[in-house]
Amino acid sequence: MTTAIGYVRVSTKGQGESGLGMEAQRAAVETHAKREGMTLAMVYVEVESGKRADRPELAKAISHCRRSKGTLVVAKLDRLARNVAFLSALMESKVPFLACDNPHANRLTLHILAAVAEAEAVAISQRTKAALQAYKARGGKLGAELSQCQNLTEEARQRGARHAAVARAKAAGEAYADLAPMMQGWRTEGLTLQQIGDRLNTEGHTTRRGKPWNPVQVARVLERCEAE
């Protein structure tokens, strides 16, 4: 009786945690093995993009097949790979494998199907990028912008703005920790904001963004010192 080693893959962590798509793949592998009179020894589960070749669970499944002289069984060819070069390397490994959606496919058919799957993956990626670019060009918001604008309440947005302001102030305070005492001393001596800025520039000091000092920036640092 032939030993079957199952391999199922989903592309995202969310799908892996929810079981979305995974149970259907497992059921297809189990049904095929039972119908063909194969002993299903193990089903390896991978949560990884089909574009990547470094898949540890697939490597384990292949090693298991070699040890047991078994057959690698996947529910669908595109769950195994959407990359012709990867599929070719797998075929060269001499590990027999089959896809439940096309169990009688020969090596040429598998290469063609893999090429079609790879081309479709590229086309999907290109269509998605083009759609997102067009959406953004129309003023649409993506990612963090979308969540901030649509999913957050006004209170949450204000709280986020306050936290961001505190973080900026802290970063500025840390950036000028060595200069602030000198600036306060010069101000106490009667130097104007412009004179303090000129002195900082003469001594080779810049702002944390690499810009020359001006009276407004000097005033902000002194205001933060007084607030503390």
> What per-residue confidence (pLDDT) applies to 17?
44
What residues contact residue 95 under an 8 Å CB cut-off, 6+ apart? 62, 65, 66, 72
> What per-residue confidence (pLDDT) applies to 93?
72
Structure tokens at 183: 């600036």
Going across the sheet that includes 97-99, the strands are 39-47, 3-10, 71-74, 97-99
> What per-residue confidence (pLDDT) applies to 20?
47
CA angle 164/165/169 to nearest 5° reads 115
> What per-residue confidence (pLDDT) applies to 189?
92
- Cα–Cα nearest to 8, from 36, 54, 48: 48
What gap in Å lies between CA 149 and CA 151, rounded to an integer?
A: 6
User: If phi over 0 gives left and psi between -120 and 50 gives alpha, with beta otherwise, what is residue 54?
Assistant: beta
> What per-residue confidence (pLDDT) applies to 38?
93
> What per-residue confidence (pLDDT) applies to 14?
47
Residues in the chain with pLDDT < 50?
14-20, 149
